[in-house]
Structure 1
Amino acid sequence: MTQALITGGTAGMGLSFARFLAAEGCDLVLVARSRQRLEATANRIADEFGVDVRTIVADLTTDDGCAEVGAAVTDVDVLVNNAGMGLGEGFTGASLDREEKLLDLNVRAVLRLTRTALPAMMERGQGSIVNVSSVAGFGPIMPGSTYNASKAWVTNFSESIAPLARRKNVRVMAFCPGFVRTEFHASANIPTSDIPSWMWLDSDAVVETAMRDLRRGKVVSVPSLHYKVITALIRHTPHSILSRIAERASAISARGHIH
């Protein structure tokens, strides 16, 4: 029986990945910090889809949490590094501790779990790793935020190791959605009222796209046509122009016109 481990598996895209894979008959290992919510989610999925669902309560911003989850990833066929965080404050407003936690979760945990899972998958000659990144990682489009820098690392990291993994029939893919209707922005205290409705994506739909692209062998997956266009523009716009746009957006934001 195929087994998948999903970090941040109780809500948002993590839950969508869990339900998608369970519907295909895949046993699950779900990782989150809240024991009560984790166990309730596991029970619902097990009852609905008839699969085995194990849980690991762990904080992936800590060494102990990464070590505990790392002990489980050597046996899985699919690893989804979904857990991540953003900050509702700019770089000079957030505390150093919070900035370091962002890097611990968005970067270091992805590195550690992938480093543990990938050799085992390569030895078996099969497996898949999905690293959830973001359209924000393609350029400095979030003025004053280090979130986009952390996601740029996730995308580049995935692109760097994908050719190595492919030699042993293992797939590694960076999944880069835009705005998705989840709890992410509310948890980070990030205002969303000024974001137009056309920019929002459905969590289940983007996960379907991610899994389809993974099976097609894509290394970078960007769901929806309009985000593909936006990503292409960001990637091919000179950095000097992107920087001026970001500076202007930052100035407008400071006057309270956008968030």
Structure 2
Amino acid sequence: MTLVNFRDPAALTDPEGRWVRPGVVHRSAQPFPVDNASIVEQLNAAGIRTIIDLRGDAEADEADWAHARAAGIEVVAARIQPTNPELEAAMRTMTEDAELGAFYLLMAESDPAAVKLAVEAATRPGGLLLHCAAGKDRTGFLTALLLDLLGVPAEEIVADYARTTEALAQIFEGLAERNRNALNDYHAGSFTVPRPLLEAPAGAMAAFLELVDARYGGTEGLLAHCGVDTATVEAFRVKAAVPAAEVTA
């Protein structure tokens, strides 16, 4: 088994090589059920040297990346916790796609240290893999912020996010098997997962990017709020951006 929802956003978002170096940023869902030799082979083939695990404390397991660690791939735990009273309240009232975008910003604001750690880890040598549980929400907004730092247009960032729709059936099958007890607890508590959280709607990511611009003046402002300094932002750009002299069109 290989990673679900695995992709290099540059391949489809930037095929002409205008903004993002291919092979630098990758995204996926968590390994189902844990990593194995096939997944390590997949990571090595993509040149991935750092895995940034965005899952919360209750979701992650040390065994998940045991094979990857043994192969010399570093795993950075940048824990964006999926629930706190404010996030849970937002989930329970969510009905519109734009509210999912607002939820993403709330998650970033709720765990600024994790956002900071993730962006700092993205500057390390070699390819990087961002993942959470589904590879949709936390992975989605962190990937969006990194792509925005590289100058990728908003419509392309939105399109990359929405591509997760193609993998949702496989993602939810894996999550249901791994998290059966947690799902049963939600059911017993009469919690209904809001429709936007079960999808990857383009409107959610569009709303997130608009909110970041409106509230912080752009991605750099939000990252500064999270404690990311300008040297880290520049280091990521040096690593991942396509220099103007290399732009093919």
Provide the TM-score with structure 2 as the length reference. 0.35
Q: Decide which structure has the larger Cα Rg and report it.
A: 1
User: Which of the pair has the greater relative contact order for Cα pairs under 8 Å at 6+ separation?
Assistant: 2
Q: Which is richer in strand?
A: 1
Provide the TM-score with structure 1 as the length reference. 0.34
